[in-house]
Amino acid sequence: MTRTPGESFADRHWPGADARAQAERVVRRIQDRICAGVMEVEAHASLSSSSSPSPGFREDRWLRPGGNEGGGITRVLQDGHVFEKAGVNVSVVSGTLPEQAVQAMRADHAKLQVMTATSGVAFFAAGVSCVLHAQNPFVPTIHCNYRYFEVDTGAGTIWWVGGGTDLTPAYVFDEDCRAFHTTLKDACDEFDPTYYGRFKAWCDRYFYLPHRKEARGIGGIFFDDVDELPLARAFAFLATCGAAFNDAYFPIVKRRMLDPYTDDDKRWQQLRRGRYVEFNLIYDRGTRFGIFTPNARIESVFMSLPLTARWEYMPDVVPGSREQHLLDVLSAPRDWIRSSDH
């Protein structure tokens, strides 16, 4: 692993590329904020339990091998007081997309559809992705990913932003779900009154395990190919979503992290972690892109996997139990915000 000084990748590799440097600043700021949020609750738990200090984040700065440009900063905290595994990764990369990748992307990206077939296009991407798995079974797992993408079509550069934030509890507290969705909706509403509704539905469609006939979690927002805002406003949208991540999640963590739990609660959490692994290895596009990309930094790709997981054959779920409540919630998407009106 090559460690490099802390300057911006964009400053170093693409001097004068303002949009690229700005995209990198946005995703690195989201990374910093999330890590600060994690460390705040870790410090709080260290104090209240009079236990040893939190292990803190390990940071690895890496460069892409094989002549491709860019690299990233991966931060992982393992076996903390509050978090079993917390991974927050920034990557800033560029190069040439092979024709196959362009074809695969065309369905998702409106402007790429009008491009004629080509032998590959130059691209730039800056993104942050984060998965936080807590120790306490009553603290949900959370995931987010925000990215800026730029493609040189030959007849000019096109860009878009994408990403989302979604929550995966092992036990459902309805008030947590409502507060979580409301915070994300408020962030979206600043930019477009249709965003939350569309991006919430997109999230429900994406984070779904057909072989289990259940959602991965209680959703959140998910979007891609957003380019109708002015560029500065698109960056502001990413930054606002990134800030909303902290506001939506850490209050839940603080509310639940000291709740007592039993071995059975922990066992259920571990079983749910198994479903999380299933989603990421079988369906998640980002993970599978990393797995099948030669020379991808596999440790950063698999940072999202939980520290521990469990698969039992035909586990019993007691009717009317809190475990059954989760399964009911995951069987069909809910309108969490409307349901708070009743």
Q: Determine if 137 is a binding residue for its own copies (CB under 8 A).
A: no
- In degrees and rounded to multiples of 5, residue 260 shows phi and psi of -70, 150
292 close to 174: Cβ distance less than 8 angstroms: no
- Catalytic residue, chosen from 81, 133, 143, 181, is 143
Residue 181 is among the residues annotated as catalytic for this protein: no
Q: Determine if 299 is a binding residue for its own copies (CB under 8 A).
A: yes
57 vs 124, which CB is nearer to its own copies?
Answer: 57
291 vs 337, which CB is nearer to its own copies?
Answer: 291
Q: Which stretch binds its own copies (CB under 8 A): 26-34, 179-187, 299-307, 317-325?
A: 299-307
Q: Determine if 76 is a binding residue for its own copies (CB under 8 A).
A: yes
Among 308, 321, 331, 339, binds its own copies (CB under 8 A): 308
Q: C-alpha distances in angstroms, 231 versus 11, 42, 126, 157, 222?
A: 19, 36, 14, 13, 19
Q: How far is the CB of 249 from its own copies (least distance, A)?
A: 21
Please list every residue from 46 through 75 that binds its own copies, using CB under 8 A: 58, 60, 74
H or E segment at 148? strand 141-152
Please list every residue from 152 through 181 that binds its own copies, using CB under 8 A: none
Among 259, 312, 328, 335, binds its own copies (CB under 8 A): 312
What span, in angstroms and rounded, lies between the C-alpha atoms of 186 and 194?
12
Sign of torsion, CA 102 106 112 116? Answer: positive
DSSP characters over 88-105: EEEEEEEEEE-HHHHHHH
Please list every residue from 86 through 115 that binds its own copies, using CB under 8 A: 87
What span, in angstroms and rounded, lies between the C-alpha atoms of 189 and 184?
9
Q: Which stretch binds its own copies (CB under 8 A): 22-30, 185-193, 301-309, 320-328?
A: 301-309
Q: Determine if 327 is a binding residue for its own copies (CB under 8 A).
A: no
Among 298, 321, 327, 339, binds its own copies (CB under 8 A): 298
Q: Which two tokens stand for residue 320?
A: 């009317």
Closest to 215 in 3D by CA, of 160, 272, 139, 165: 272
111 close to 127: Cβ distance less than 8 angstroms: no
Q: How far is the CB of 75 from its own copies (least distance, A)?
A: 10
Do the strands 219-226 and 214-215 form a parallel or antiparallel pair, or are they unpaired?
unpaired
Please list every residue from 219 through 278 that binds its own copies, using CB under 8 A: 270, 274, 277-278
Q: How far is the CB of 298 from its own copies (least distance, A)?
A: 5
Q: Determine if 16 is a binding residue for its own copies (CB under 8 A).
A: no
Among 36, 104, 307, 327, binds its own copies (CB under 8 A): 307
Q: How many C-beta neighbours within 10 Å does residue 70 have?
A: 22
Q: Determine if 303 is a binding residue for its own copies (CB under 8 A).
A: yes
Chain length of the chain: 342
Q: Determine if 309 is a binding residue for its own copies (CB under 8 A).
A: yes
Return the bridge partners of 159, or none.
Answer: 150
Q: How far is the CB of 311 from its own copies (least distance, A)?
A: 4
Which amino acid would we find at residue 252?
I
Q: How far is the CB of 81 from its own copies (least distance, A)?
A: 17
Q: C-alpha distances in angstroms, 336 versus 164, 175, 184, 188, 200?
A: 17, 9, 11, 15, 10
Residue 225 CA, chain-centre distance (Å), reads 17
H or E segment at 226? strand 219-226
CA dihedral angle for residue 89, residue 93, residue 97, residue 98, rounded to 10 degrees: -70
Q: How far is the CB of 219 from its own copies (least distance, A)?
A: 22
Q: How far is the CB of 34 from its own copies (least distance, A)?
A: 16
> By the criterion CB under 8 A, which residues form the site for its own copies?
58, 60, 74, 76, 78, 85, 87, 211-212, 270, 274, 277-278, 281-282, 290-292, 296, 298-299, 301-303, 305-314
Residues taking part in catalysis: 143
